[in-house]
A and B are shown apart, each in its own frame.
Chain A
Amino acid sequence: MSATTLSPPRRRRARLVRYTKRDRAALSLMAGVPLLLSLAFVWLPALATIALSFFNWTGIGGLSDMKAAGVENYRIIFGIYPEFPPAIEHNLLWLGVFFVVPAPFGLFLALQLHKQIRYSRVYQSILFLPVVLSLALVGFMTELVFSPTQGLVNNLTGHAGQSNLIDWLGSPRLNIWAVLIMACWRQTGYVMILFLAGLKSVDPSLQEAASLDGANEWQAFRHVIWPALRPINIVVVVVTVIESLRAFDIVYIVNQGTNGLELLSTLITANIIGETSRIGFGSALATILLVISLAFVLPYVYTTFRKDTRS
């Protein structure tokens, strides 16, 4: 049959390997135990999130206290829950800013540092420093930098006095920007490192050829480097999306995600560890976050591994 002749020889050879009973058991355990752990602690909760979103359930009660609620939770979220529109808005703003600032700026820095210039390693290290710091620590840094009377920004610009105080973290119009500046501070180094690795894998003879053909810097970038960076571009897009959906720590440290800093992640958290824990309602919010992230993650993972097995 044509199907058998089409199957790659690698597969066929591998099928010939006969495993002993012990080997079979060993391999099953080696893959099975971690798989069980991942299913039990990640995927089961993910499915449960969706299921629970159709119930009403307070945190204290047992399973018997669960009441079917249909789409009631969603109706409340989209209809009358006042924190939801700002949260979605802030998540989108976060995503937009991450695409517009750290992604291109990280690429620009990587391109500059990839040129054989002196002190390149020193520049790289300094720009990379925030990446090793925890996001929680970046939250404290945000307070240090933007604190109205004790902060760096107001003291440098002469706004720390009582008469002309700029309340960066207290004003609901300003605080999201203060937080975003610090988030970009960390994200840029991350993106830069990813692009630098991508640039190292671009064949230098391609660039050589381009400059011999008289291409200027922009043309060489546009027609040689950018197409060669495609795999890393996809990674950067995924990292950017995931990091903006995960955004939580900085905002939670500044004011627990209230008063102008609402995010989907903080609303979910507030609904389980607040005084009134609302499991069903929190799950409905989490389902929205889950669906948005899966819409990015699944196609990415699927295409990555499809390609992998074909090559």
Chain B
Amino acid sequence: MTAATYTGASAATEPARNRPRNRRGIRPARVLLHGFLIATCIVWIAPVLYALYTSLRPYADTQKQGYVSVGGHYNLTNYANAWSEADLPLYFKNSAIITIPALLVTLWLASMVAFVVARHSFKLNLLMLMVFTAGNLLPQQAIITPLYKLYISVPLPSWLSDSGHLDDSFLGLILIHVAFQTGFCVFVLSNFMRTIPHEITEAARVDGASEWRQYRQVVLPLCRPALAALATLEFTWIYNDFFWATVLMQTGANRPITAALNNLTGQFFTDNNLISAASMIVAVPTLVVFFVLQRQFVSGLTLGANKG
């Protein structure tokens, strides 16, 4: 609605400036622009469509007719094979065990830090913000060597870890995700919390609310939109993690699905049709984010960028 009225208003002022380019009707520049955008989009979506198309065709047919061809059978056999032969449900379960707690704890910890940093003026606040934000921007590989040594030397009870140490354990992966991702969330949430008027917490304080209650019952509920955006973004990032899981989770059966796929190729997934099907299956949770939660995802990204 607002967009329509806005263009209407500007179009009304245009004829006075004698700019025929902007008048209603067929405008060559616009046609060219649409042509360019359509071409770009076709190129952009081609790899995904190619993977989808290949995944629906039996290997024998593509061998006979070539990969870029029409005809032969179309079915879900590749999906069924990928799902059962490579034990994908197990890896999905691993991903859930890692992603969900890591996501919840990250948001919880980050919201507490953001509350302290954004709603108070302690001397150390600035330094804390820098520590968290800069920590999140380091390349993972820059800290992995000592981290790996640390992980293989910290003992854990056997019900928490097959290896008896922090490496190869779900807890270990959850911890590194939390430590690493908290930085970004602190940055975004503290920017968001600063926009909440100070009078609100002041009133609660006058009424005798403790700091914890101000956080829990006043500020946190107001942060719901930012938390929803961050939850979408962090879910995608943690689920998509490949590096931490590859290095810190060396037992194949414990890996989350994004990292497991790499081991499974060659072992179970021998042809591109099967790899395509497996890739499509692995992409499903992120495609849900794409189709259903795109607005949250984008606003999470831009909340982080806009205030930067």
Seen from chain A, the residues whose Cβ lies within 8 Å of a Cβ on chain B are 10-11, 14-15, 17, 19-20, 22-23, 26-27, 30-31, 33-35, 37-46, 48-49, 52, 59, 109, 112-113, 115-119, 122-123, 125-130, 132-137, 140-141, 143-145, 147, 150-152, 155-156, 160, 182, 185, 189-190, 193-194, 197-198, 201, 204, 208, 211-212, 214, 231-232, 234-235, 238, 242, 245-246, 248-249, 252-253, 264-265, 268-269, 271-273, 279, 282-283, 286-287, 289-290, 293-294, 297-298, 300-302, 304-305, 309
Contact = CB atoms under 8 A, between A and B. Distances in A.
B144 A272 contact: yes
Contact of B132 (A38, A126, A290): A38
Given A26-B212, A144-B47, A301 B142 contact: no
Contacts of A253: 242, 262
A301 B130 contact: yes
A16 B115 CA distance: 19
B10 interface: yes
B272 interface: yes
Given A14-B121, A151-B67, A293-B139, A37 B41 contact: no
- Interface of chain A: mostly helix, strand, loop or mixed: helix
A247 to B, nearest CB: 9
Interface stretch (B70-78, B80-88, B221-229, B278-286): B278-286
Contacts of A115: 33
Interface in B26-60: 30, 33-34, 36-37, 40-41, 44-48, 50-51, 54
Given A197-B306, A238-B137, A35 B272 contact: no
Contacts of A44: 146
B211 A150 contact: no
A184 B112 CA distance: 37
B138 A297 contact: yes
B44 A134 contact: no
Contacts of A234: 308
B142 A286 contact: yes
Contacts of B156: none
A289 B261 contact: no
A304 B113 contact: no
B115 A141 contact: no
Given A136-B262, A273-B247, A279-B149, A116 B47 contact: no
6 contacts: A30-B115, A126-B44, A151-B67, A235-B308, A252-B242, A283-B146
Interface footprint category on B: 35 or more
A191 B113 CA distance: 29
Nearest to A266: B141
Contact of B68 (A152, A189, A204, A235): A152
Interface string B90-108: 0000000000000000000
Of all A-B residue pairs in the complex, the 8 with the closest CB atoms, nearest first, are A134-B240, A197-B302, A41-B179, A48-B146, A30-B112, A136-B242, A45-B143, A290-B142
A193 B138 contact: no
Contacts of B143: 42, 45-46, 49, 286, 290
Contacts of A249: 242-243
Interface in B133-164: 133-135, 137-150
Contact of B17 (A23, A214, A305): A214
B169 interface: no
Contacts of A287: 142
Most chain B CB within 10 A, of A26, A30, A119, is at: A30
A226 B261 CA distance: 43
B204 interface: no
B50 A126 contact: no
A156 B116 CA distance: 57
A269 B215 CA distance: 41
Contact of B37 (A26, A112, A304): A112
A194 B301 contact: yes
A27 B289 contact: no
Contacts of A198: 305-306
Given A134-B258, A144-B47, A144-B50, A293 B121 contact: no
B120 interface: yes
Given A10-B121, A123-B41, A136-B261, A248 B113 contact: no
Nearest to A47: B146
Nearest to A189: B44
A133 to B, nearest CB: 6
A134 B242 contact: yes
B131 A43 contact: yes
A293 B305 contact: no
B112 A185 contact: no
B146 A45 contact: yes
A261 B18 CA distance: 56
Contacts of B17: 211-212, 214
Contacts of A301: 130, 133-134, 137
A30 B212 CA distance: 9
Most chain A CB within 10 A, of B149, B236, B275, B290, is at: B149
B268 to A, nearest CB: 14
Most chain A CB within 10 A, of B113, B137, B250, B262, is at: B137
A121 B6 CA distance: 18
B217 interface: no
A135 to B, nearest CB: 6
B182 A305 contact: no
Contacts of B241: 134
B7 interface: yes
Contacts of B192: none
Nearest to A120: B37
Contact of B45 (A126, A140, A194, A273): A126
B141 A269 contact: yes
